Amino acid sequence: MVLKKGDGSVVNTIDLANGSYAFTGIPSGQYCIFASKAGFQHSVTMNDNVFNKDTDSYCTTVPPSNTNAHLAMVSNTTFSIEVYLWNDKTNDGVLNKKSSTYNIMIKLLRGKNFVMEHSRTSGYYKFEDVDSGDYCLYGTSPDGLFAPGVTMNDNVFDSNGTYCLSLPQPGSTNRNIIANSGWVKLTAP
């Protein structure tokens, strides 16, 4: 945290602001507080978060118009999501990389917003540079030859071909997420 006068000169710096900080004994005048942390970016300015995301600062007049300048930051770490698709011939949810399923489309959505999709003839997909947040992967068989397999063992997709997750995953520091999906070949009636 860096406190600067209205003219841009540095008044004080706090190197380890672990959740709380205070600048005291400051004469009247215009000031701006600048905050940064490696691996993080400022959150949207709203509610209690008064820091301006575009300038990475909060400016005020002392005596203060606001004695509680809250700052919200989020990790700017990106993640990758790997998806293995296989023909689950025994419908037991156990991954078999030698039995790849072809022509399954996988879409990645954040809420209702489309992020990206993969539609190849391969049984392996990788979504890279995925930001922190809540996502769902949706799998479909465009030609209707396959249906999602049972959700168990290695298969994390449900019977609708959906798998939802939060990044980062609670309690994990892993930045490469594996999401396996077993598919069962449908027989002609």
Domain boundary among 46, 75, 104: 75
Average pLDDT over residues 151-160: 95
Q: b/e per residue, 83-115, with b = 16+ CB within 10 A?
A: bbbbbbeeeebebbeeebbeebebbbbeeeeeb
Read off the pTM. Answer: 0.61
49 and 110 assigned to the same domain: no
- Write the CATH number for 108: 2.60.40.10
Task: Give 115-149 as a DSSP string.
Answer: EEEEE-SSSEEEEEEEPSEEEEEEEE-TTS-EEE-
87 and 39 assigned to the same domain: no
Total domain count, the chain: 2
Domain extent, residue 162, equals 79-185
The span from the CA of 84 to the CA of 95, in Å, is 8
Summarize pLDDT for 108-139 with one digit per residue, the tens. 999 888 888 877 667 888 998 888 888 999 99
Tokens of 138: 């949706």
69 and 99 assigned to the same domain: no
Higher pLDDT, 52 or 80: 80
Summarize pLDDT for 63-101 with one digit per residue, the tens. 765 556 666 666 667 889 999 999 999 999 999 989 988
